[in-house]
Structure 1
Amino acid sequence: MEERITLCGDNCIECPRYNAHSEAELKRVAELWYRVGWRDKVVTNEEITCSGCSSHKA
């Protein structure tokens, strides 16, 4: 399986935040991250959106 480990330490290939493309998917990720304790509140789609970091971009 391909891996893309980036500055945040996550593998982008498996990251739900990186792979969320629709507004609904982003909202579900934000709600999930709140439920598992990775955020203190459900953040906005703008805050949860990730397009990858510079460690793997050409």
Structure 2
Amino acid sequence: MPISAAETVKCQDGDEHWHGATGTTLMAHIALVVSGGKPATWLEPVADEQYDSVLPHS
């Protein structure tokens, strides 16, 4: 799901998700844990080819 500048994305405890920039876009990521929530479990990096394969193509 592409996001726009200044958009906030909320993930529920246990949700797996990934994100990143492309060759023509930037991405800044700030992770917050709400009181009583579980800390993030960081999964393995995704190769550029895998990331590119799921991007919407115009």
Please report the TM-score for the alignment, with normalisation by the length of structure 2: 0.27
Higher relative contact order (CA 8 A, sep 6+): 1
Structure with higher helix content: 1
Please report the TM-score for the alignment, with normalisation by the length of structure 1: 0.27
The higher radius of gyration belongs to 2
